[in-house]
């Protein structure tokens, strides 16, 4: 699979693809470069990815995308609150791909100095 990097400096989203075993198979690297991700950081994220992928592969899954809003996320020098959307797809040969869309919108950034609203209190932090 080939993914072309978007050279638009104003881009605020990134797509990362995984196989059924949570291995990264591609990325457009618009927010951060996945090849700069240290193994120890990936190992810390992998349990979350495995849970998401296990759910997406389970009979319980209705096929609807999984959406996780306002997640505090760090990867190298990248640090922001992002919305994560995970989708499972199967190609004609039966190969499973999990696509993760990470969306960072400046209007959705939250200052740590402002008081959290009831909506913000459910936010989680993911560090890579």
Domain containing residue 23: CATH number: 3.30.450.20
Q: For 67-126, how does the pLDDT look when each residue is reduced to its tens digit (9 = 90+)?
A: 999 888 888 778 888 999 999 999 999 998 999 999 986 554 444 444 444 444 444 555
Please state whether 63 falls in left (phi above 0), alpha (psi between -120 and 50) or beta: left
Return the structure tokens found at 5.
Answer: 């990097």
**Number of folded domains in the chain?**
1
Q: Quick check: pTM over 0.95? A: no
Instruction: Quickly tell me which residue has 């591609």 as its tokens.
Output: 26
Q: For 11-41, how does the pLDDT look when each residue is reduced to its tens digit (9 = 90+)?
A: 589 999 999 888 999 999 999 888 888 887 7
- Look at residue 3 and tell me if it is in a domain: no
- Look at residue 54 and tell me if it is in a domain: yes
Domain limits for position 32: 13-107
- Look at residue 5 and tell me if it is in a domain: no
Torsion (CA) 96, 13, 74, 32 in degrees, nearest 10: 90
């Amino acid at each position: 699979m080939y993914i072309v990097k978007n050279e638009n400096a104003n881009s605020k989203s990134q797509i990362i693809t995984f196989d059924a075993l949570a291995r990264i198979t591609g990325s457009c690297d618009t927010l951060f470069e996945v090849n700069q991700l240290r193994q120890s950081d990936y190992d810390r994220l992998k349990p979350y990815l495995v849970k998401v992928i296990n759910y997406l592969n389970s009979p319980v899954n209705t096929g609807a995308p999984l959406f996780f809003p306002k997640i505090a996320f760090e990867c190298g020098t990248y640090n922001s609150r992002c919305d994560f959307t995970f989708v499972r797809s199967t190609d004609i040969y039966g190969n499973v791909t999990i696509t993760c869309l990470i969306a960072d919108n400046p209007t959705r950034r939250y200052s740590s100095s402002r008081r959290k609203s009831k909506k913000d209190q459910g936010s989680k932090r993911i560090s890579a």
